Amino acid sequence: METLKIVKIGGNIIEDETSLNAFLKLFSNLEGKKILVHGGGKRATSVALKLGIESQMVNGRRVTDAKTLEVITMVYGGLVNKNVVAKLQALNVNAIGLTGADVNSISSEKRPIKEVDFGFVGDVKKVAHESIDKLIQADFIPVFCAITHDGNGQLLNTNADTITSQVAIGMSKLYKTSVYYCFELNGVLENIQDKNSVIKHIDSKTYKYLLDRGIIADGMLPKLENCFDALKNGVNTINMGNTDMLIKANDNFTKITL
């Protein structure tokens, strides 16, 4: 099986032109078949504010109403996605920008209303791995933003981390998949106070050990739970660290395997 790399970057990189350009250069040098997934960043919030759309929060969580969804579609699907594609083209990466609606790549269903109505938020239902693969086989590099659709004409806001893991799980039917979650830290840290205490390799056994010792807790816990869920569903390797982990010689990041 051929390897497919799926790289996720967050808003912190998207928002800073210098960081974005540096990252895209690294991404362009990445060998083999690859997919990029990007988050949106605070740009959507600032555009919404200027348009007089207030962010609705319920129990501390953002609600995507119809107006907010329009802003997200404009900012993530248009401004961010298409500028990333144009920048990648300038680096000779034959990128193609996608939402989940394009080639019906990621369908989702509107999150059911329980205690909170999150509005136009979609939970991923199906990844059309064969359609995505047609693009990859044509030597195009898919660039996903954090938008899916319900198949009935409705776009839906979807978490970029979830899109990453679901696309990776889907593509695992055809490829040996390696996911790269780029974030601010160098990796999963043994000591949260020491940014250089990167745990280089976590597998099911060491994960249990780290859990038992309370080394993995708080925000890192759900992140790693998601990772192991993806690994159990076919994903081969998950890497967590800052964008430098895309540099070939660098091994200062966390590699997670089953």
Q: Which residues pair with 98 in a beta bridge?
A: 144
How many residues in the chain?
A: 258
| Residue 157 is assigned to a ligand binding site | yes
- Shortest distance, CB of residue 131 to its own copies, whole angstroms? 8
Q: Which of 14, 36, 85, 168 binds its own copies (CB under 8 A)?
A: 85
Distance of CA 219 to the CA centre of its chain: 16
Between 150 and 189, how does the x/- string for binding to its own copies read (CB under 8 A)?
Answer: -xxxxx----------------------------------
CB atoms within 10 A of CB 115: 6
> Which of 186-218 are b and which e, b meaning 16 or more Cβ less than 10 Å from the residue's Cβ?
bbbbeeeeeeeebbeebeeeebeebeeeebbee
> Which is it for the CA torsion 5, 73, 122, 68, positive or negative?
positive
Q: Which of 4, 14, 35, 147 binds its own copies (CB under 8 A)?
A: 147
C-alpha to C-alpha distance for 17 and 5, rounded to whole angstroms: 23
Using the contact rule CB under 8 A, the part of the chain among 100-108, 164-172, 203-211, 222-230 near its own copies is 100-108
Between 31 and 70, how does the x/- string for binding to its own copies read (CB under 8 A)?
Answer: ----------------x--xxx-----------------x
Q: What is the binding site for its own copies (CB under 8 A)?
A: 47, 50-52, 70, 73-79, 81-83, 85-87, 89-90, 94-99, 101-104, 131, 134-135, 138, 140, 147, 149, 151-155
